[in-house]
Structures are given as structure tokens and as C-alpha cells.
């Protein structure tokens, strides 16, 4: 379902771009000195929803086993610094170090009945994405693009030990490497460039720590694999 949503949103961006580019008459272009420089900087503000790709354990089919799933997607925020290298007319290499904050809620079901509330897992990432940006032709003051690359994230909020005061029985590993892909539009304004970008970021490794809390082994045992996935809507100012 979430992949379908991403496909629809990316398709909408593409349709908006094609409609804008094909429907506009030629107009005076705003200057784009930042695109002509080999190196330029900016900043980025964004919103995210953090998710898990959960593979349930095969044992969940048993009567006494639990079935895990992510129930609610909560909004979070991203703040990044943009460093952009421009080696060719249609290509950029981008480094966007920054931070992101969010949370995920995992619910468990037993015989299709909600079991013991939810597991609320908060994350505070420092991140170091390196991305390749391919830009289409510019018409007037709009230019569509696609972007892809890798992002190393380190979760400062991941717990080293379980908190006895909170009924959360899942812990995450701190480092992970993500592959990212997305699309967006560059808008050339009189004094700066605004980019609106939609991006999907999927972690490579299993993030679940395999050391269950004492007496709560069923929460970890119900999950075979748990990878991280983050959806980001970003606004770049350059």
C-alpha cells in the first residue's frame, strides 16, 4: 500500500512538471548563478514519516504467538545543510548532513485481538546522505529532477538498555545504511532556488536487537526481520 502511495505521489510530481513545462509560454528566466557554480550551499527543512518493514516470525501462526505490525505513521521533522557539487550541466553530487526526529508505533495482535497496547519507539538520527541528482531541461523557471544515493544514519535515541519504567520491549541498533530514491522540482525564484522533493529511504540491515527484555521474550521472538523505512518531503533553499 505504501509503495503504491509513493508511486502515485511521484507520478503526480511528474505530471505537474510536464503540465507546467508544456503549458507555459516562454518567459524571461530568473538568473541561476548558483547552478552555474561548481560548488554552492543551502539548507533544507522537511517532514518525514518513519516506518518499519516487518517480517513476522513463522511461529506467529501458532495459537499462542503474536503478530506485529506498524499501526500509525506519525509526522517528524528533518533539518539539513546542503552542499552541492556541479560537475556537469544535468548532474549534481549532493551532500546533505543533518538531523531528523520521529517515532514509530508497533502493535501486536494475538488471535486478531490487540495485545497489551503498543510499542512506541522514538528515533533521533544524525545522517550523512550522498546523492546523485539528474536534472531535466529547464523551461522558464521550473526544472524537474530525480535523485538517488546512500544515507548513513546513526540513531542517538536507540536504547542501550531497557527502561524499567516504560513498557517498551523492543530495542534498535544505532547505525544503519539506507538507499534513497526520489523526485522533485526546482523552482528558480528571483534571489534563490526552491526545490520541493519527495523521497523514499529504506534501510539495508535488520534493526532489531536480539536481546529481549526479561520475561518479555515474545515481543522480539514474534519478529523475524525489521528494516527501517522513512518517507521525506523536503524543501531545499539554495
| Stated pTM of the model | 0.85
Classify each residue of 173-182 as buried b or exposed e, where b means 16 or more C-beta atoms within 10 Å of its C-beta. bbebebebeb
User: Does pLDDT of 106 surpass 60?
Assistant: yes
Cα–Cα distance, 200 to 28 (Å, whole number) = 34
DSSP state of 163: -
**Phi/psi of residue 83, each to 5°?**
-120, 120
Using CB atoms within 10 A of its CB, is residue 16 exposed (0-12), middle (13-18) or buried (19+)? middle
Mean pLDDT of the chain: 88
Mean pLDDT score, 55-75: 82
pLDDT at 92: 97
User: Taking Cα atoms as reference points, which of 119, 112, 138 lies closest to residue 52?
Assistant: 119
Determine how β-strand 75-88 pairs with β-strand 39-56.
antiparallel
**Minimal CA–CA distance to 101: which of 34, 32, 47?**
47
Cell numbers given for 30: 530568473
Beta strands in the chain (DSSP E): 39-56, 67-73, 75-88, 91-95, 98-110, 113-135, 142-155, 175-188, 193-203, 223-237
pLDDT digit string, tens, across residues 26-64: 567 787 777 788 999 999 999 999 999 999 988 766 656
Reported confidence tier of residue 151, pLDDT bands at 50, 70, 90: very high
Residue 213: name the closest of 173, 165, 172, 161 by CA: 161
Confidence of residue 11 (pLDDT cuts 50, 70, 90): low
User: What local confidence, expressed as pLDDT, does residue 60 receive?
Assistant: 64
CATH assignment at residue 186: 2.40.160.20
Which carries the bigger pLDDT value, residue 21 or residue 61?
A: 61
Mean predicted confidence (pLDDT) in 126-152: 96
How much is the pLDDT for 31?
77
Domain count for the chain, please give it. 1
Q: Are 122 and 166 in contact (CB under 8 A)?
A: no
CA distance 133 to 143: 12
Write out the DSSP string of 38-107.
Answer: SEEEEEEEEEEEEEEEEEE-GGGGSTT--EEEEEEEPEEEEEEEEEEEEEETTEEEEE--EEEEEEEEEE
Domain that holds residue 189: 2-23+32-237
* pLDDT bucket at 8, cuts 50 / 70 / 90: very low
- The backbone torsions φ and ψ at residue 90, rounded to the nearest 5 degrees and listed phi first, read -100, 0
C-alpha angle 112/116/120, rounded to 5°? 105
Model pLDDT, residue 160: 86
CA 180 to chain CA mean position, Å? 8
185 vs 191 pLDDT, higher one? 185
Amino acid at each position: 500500500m505504501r509503495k503504491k502511495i509513493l508511486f502515485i505521489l511521484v507520478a503526480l510530481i511528474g505530471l505537474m512538471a510536464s503540465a507546467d513545462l508544456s503549458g507555459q509560454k516562454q518567459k524571461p528566466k530568473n538568473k541561476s548563478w548558483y547552478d552555474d557554480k561548481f560548488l554552492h550551499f543551502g539548507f533544507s527543512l522537511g517532514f518525514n514519516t518513519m516506518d518499519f518493514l516487518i517480517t513476522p516470525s513463522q511461529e506467529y501462526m501458532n495459537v499462542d504467538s503474536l503478530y506485529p505490525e506498524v499501526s500509525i505513521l506519525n509526522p517528524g521533522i528533518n533539518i539539513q545543510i546542503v552542499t552541492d557539487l556541479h560537475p556537469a550541466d544535468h548532474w549534481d553530487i549532493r551532500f546533505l548532513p543533518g538531523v531528523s526526529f520521529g517515532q514509530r508505533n508497533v502493535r501486536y495482535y494475538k488471535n486478531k485481538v490487540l495485545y497489551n497496547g503498543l510499542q512506541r519507539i522514538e528515533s533521533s538520527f544524525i545522517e550523512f546522505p550522498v546523492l546523485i541528482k539528474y536534472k531535466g531541461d529547464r523551461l522558464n523557471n521550473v526544472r524537474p529532477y530525480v535523485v538517488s544515493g546512500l544515507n548513513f544514519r546513526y540513531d542517538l535515541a536507540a536504547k542501550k538498555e531497557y527502561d524499567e519504567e516504560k513498557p517498551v520491549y523492543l530495542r534498535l541498533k544505532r547505525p544503519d545504511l539506507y538507499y534513497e530514491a526520489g523526485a522533485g522540482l526546482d523552482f528558480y525564484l528571483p534571489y534563490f532556488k526552491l526545490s520541493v522533493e519527495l523521497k523514499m529511504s529504506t534501510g539495508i540491515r535488520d534493526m532489531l536487537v536480539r536481546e529481549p527484555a526479561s520475561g518479555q521474550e515474545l515481543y522480539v521472538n514474534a519478529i523475524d526481520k525489521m528494516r527501517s523505512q522513512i518517507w521525506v518531503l523536503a524543501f531545499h533553499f539554495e
